[in-house]
A and B are shown apart, each in its own frame.
Chain A
Amino acid sequence: EIVLTQSPGTLSLSPGERATLSCRASQSVSSSYLAWYQQKPGQAPRILIYGASSRATGIPDRFSGSGSGTDFTLTISRLEPEDFAVYYCQQYGGSPYTFGQGTKLEIK
């Protein structure tokens, strides 16, 4: 089983700042099958990034993903008020399709 470890657990930033979220895998994620989801309180998750770096339909270009192998990063270039949420990475290279424990992005 691939274990995904996200850091930091909580990130406190202000609107307009840049956010960098990390996801580290316990073993290499095949074909960069790594996705990022955003979840706001009381809502279902929403896909942001797939294939480590491809933005899903309708996702603003301030969201970008990078990385390969075991180290992946989600970057939000300039934070908007609606970006404060919890972010999860997930690998879909093979079962079980594990999630990271999440990074909470909160307003400073």
Chain B
Amino acid sequence: QVQLVESGGGVVQPGRSLRLSCAASGFTFSNYGMHWVRQAPGKGLEWVAVISYDGINKYYADSVKGRFTISRDNSKNTLYLQMNSLRAEDTAVYYCAKDSYYYDSSGYYPSYYYYYMDVWGKGTTVTVSS
């Protein structure tokens, strides 16, 4: 079945770095964009970043722009989030989520499209604290 499994969370000091991973299975990873969404303790959902199916197009929330980098390795069916210069306010559960827009490998797409998130992982917890 379609599954996303995040890993790499932990406790890290302010200013340090951490890399999250999201292993995908049960679908053709390279045909879909992927998102990271986070949720601070007791708070709502915050969209963090998205990457296109081919890894070329990326968007970030202003709160993480310049500090976080989203990437993917389609040969390994894995999504990443490199988090640098971490702050206390980055403390959250980080979810990876599959975008629902399907890119046919043989199709021509003049633009990148992002739709709703139809599959979510269980999340990995990042705590930024000294």
- Determine if A95 and B44 form an interchain contact, defined as CB atoms under 8 angstroms apart: no
Distance in angstroms from A3 CB to nearest chain B CB is 13
Hey, which chain A residues are within 8 Å of B116, CB to CB?
33, 35, 47, 50, 90, 92
Flag whether B88 is at the interface (Cβ < 8 A).
no
Residues of B within 8 A of A (CB): 35, 37, 44-47, 50, 59, 61-62, 95, 100, 114-118, 120-123
Flag whether A46 is at the interface (Cβ < 8 A).
yes
A88-B45 contact given A44-B120, A56-B118, CB 8 Å threshold: yes
A86 vs B43: C-alpha distance in the bound complex, in angstroms? 11
- Determine if A45 and B47 form an interchain contact, defined as CB atoms under 8 angstroms apart: no
Residues of A within 8 A of B (CB): 1, 33, 35, 37, 39, 43-47, 50, 56, 86, 88, 90, 92, 95-102
Hey, which chain A residues are within 8 Å of B44, CB to CB?
86, 88, 99-102
Distance in angstroms from A10 CB to nearest chain B CB is 13
Hey, which chain B residues are within 8 Å of A88, CB to CB?
44-45
- Determine if A97 and B45 form an interchain contact, defined as CB atoms under 8 angstroms apart: no
Residue contacts A-B, CB under 8 angstroms, 5 given: A39-B45, A44-B122, A50-B116, A92-B115, A97-B114
- Determine if B95 and A97 form an interchain contact, defined as CB atoms under 8 angstroms apart: no
A47-B50 contact given A88-B45, A99-B44, A101-B44, CB 8 Å threshold: no
A99-B45 contact given A47-B116, A90-B116, CB 8 Å threshold: yes
A51 vs B62: C-alpha distance in the bound complex, in angstroms? 25
